[in-house]
Amino acid sequence: MRKKLLKLSFVAAVAIAAGYTAYNSQKTETLSDLTMDNVEALASGENPFCPNGCKLNGPGCLCDGWWPNEREAI
């Protein structure tokens, strides 16, 4: 009877410890700085087809649409 009680208390302690560590790991920030930089770059509207953007006074620029009075910034 003592062995069963000892085993049961050991299993309960392991389950509590595992639950506590899982709970604590969810509270911490899991995104790295590089991941956050990538998210910010995607959210800022960077376009891979027009990485430099458009400037005024040009024959046209195709960047998120056609801009007839602008040119691609270099």
50 touches 36 (CB < 8 A): no
End-to-end CA distance of the chain: 81
Question: pTM for the whole thing?
Answer: 0.38
Per residue in 22-35, pLDDT (tens digit) is 888 776 666 677 88
Which residues on adjacent β-strands are paired with residue 72?
54
Per residue in 64-73, pLDDT (tens digit) is 778 788 877 7
Nearest in space to 50 (alpha carbons), one of 71, 24, 27: 71
